[in-house]
């Protein structure tokens, strides 16, 4: 159902969007718990993935590229204004919208969703760069975008297609159970295991 609709049209129904969001959030929690990936919030990768699935890869990618470049270019000037965080975020949204409009994608259906998420991602990345350095900001943005791209692929698989075909409530329950399972993990993450193995080899 989901894959058929996605292949026939770049647009997803409201029911599909609502059902896919908990699954995307669960995968984001799993990536943080098991891989140690830090993203721009729990829902940013899922919302970006849903935006790309809804708009289609070509239009969605172009919207993200145009809005992202405009937002990043505007951040140094916005930061100099010393505004409150909410005012700064509002200006980032304006900059991203301007970039999307100038690129000719202002009429894209449901284009506001990636614009808002992208503005939040840019603002979070800027704060991270100021506080923790450019590398930390790059890892934050990279993890968010990579996970969003992975979610786009996952949302097209047969198991997710079957799950979403069962209805939105079933997907919400499955997503909630997956979040609890992944969030309860207290073991070592992949990066931590690699560091411990390196230390053990050095000690030996």
Q: Is 186 exposed, middle or buried (0-12, 13-18, 19+ CB in 10 A)?
A: exposed
Q: What is the mean pLDDT of the chain?
A: 79
What percent of the chain has pLDDT above 90? 18
At 10, list the tokens.
């770049």
Band (20; pLDDT cuts 50, 70, 90)? confident
Tally the residues of the chain.
Answer: 204
Higher pLDDT, 8 or 61: 61
Residue 25 has pLDDT above 60, yes or no: yes
Higher pLDDT, 113 or 73: 73
Residue 6 has pLDDT above 70, yes or no: no
Band (193; pLDDT cuts 50, 70, 90)? low
Domain ranges of the chain: 2-203
Q: What is the pLDDT of residue 95?
A: 93
Q: What is the pLDDT of residue 5?
A: 37
Tens-digit pLDDT profile for residues 96-136 = 999 888 888 765 555 566 788 889 899 999 999 988 899 98
Cβ atoms of residues 122 and 72 within 8 Å: yes
Separation of alpha carbons 54 and 9, rounded Å: 9
Separation of alpha carbons 158 and 156, rounded Å: 7
Q: How far apart, in Å, are the Cα atoms of 153 and each of 57, 159, 172?
A: 11, 12, 19
Separation of alpha carbons 68 and 161, rounded Å: 30
Cβ atoms of residues 54 and 155 within 8 Å: no
Tens-digit pLDDT profile for residues 158-188 = 887 777 777 778 888 888 998 999 888 877 7
Band (56; pLDDT cuts 50, 70, 90)? confident
Q: What is the pLDDT of residue 14?
A: 66
Residue 38 has pLDDT above 70, yes or no: yes
Tens-digit pLDDT profile for residues 81-92 = 988 989 999 999
Q: What is the pLDDT of residue 111?
A: 59
Alpha helices in 133-189 (DSSP H): 134-154, 158-165, 168-183
Q: How far apart, in Å, are the Cα atoms of 68 and each of 75, 79, 97, 121, 145?
A: 11, 16, 10, 9, 12
Q: What is the pLDDT of residue 69?
A: 92
Residue 2 has pLDDT above 50, yes or no: no
Q: How far apart, in Å, are the Cα atoms of 102 and each of 10, 91, 147, 159?
A: 23, 16, 28, 39
């Amino acid at each position: 159902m989901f894959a058929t609709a996605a292949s026939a049209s770049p647009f997803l129904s409201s029911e599909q969007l609502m059902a896919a969001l908990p699954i995307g959030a669960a995968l984001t929690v799993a990536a943080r718990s098991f891989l140690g990936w830090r993203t721009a919030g729990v829902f940013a990768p899922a919302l970006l993935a849903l935006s790309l699935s809804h708009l289609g890869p070509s239009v969605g990618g172009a919207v993200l590229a145009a809005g992202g470049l405009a937002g990043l270019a505007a951040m140094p000037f916005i930061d100099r204004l010393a505004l409150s965080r909410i005012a700064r975020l509002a200006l980032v949204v304006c900059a991203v919208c301007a970039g999307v409009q100038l690129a000719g994608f202002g009429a894209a259906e449901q284009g506001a969703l990636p614009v808002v998420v992208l503005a939040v991602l840019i603002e979070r990345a800027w704060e991270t760069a100021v506080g923790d350095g450019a590398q930390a900001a790059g890892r934050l943005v990279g993890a968010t975008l990579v996970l969003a791209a992975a979610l786009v692929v996952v949302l097209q698989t047969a198991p997710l297609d079957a799950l979403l075909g069962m209805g939105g409530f079933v997907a919400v329950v499955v997503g909630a159970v997956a979040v609890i399972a992944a969030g309860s993990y207290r073991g070592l993450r992949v990066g931590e295991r690699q560091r411990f193995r390196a230390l053990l080899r050095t000690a030996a």
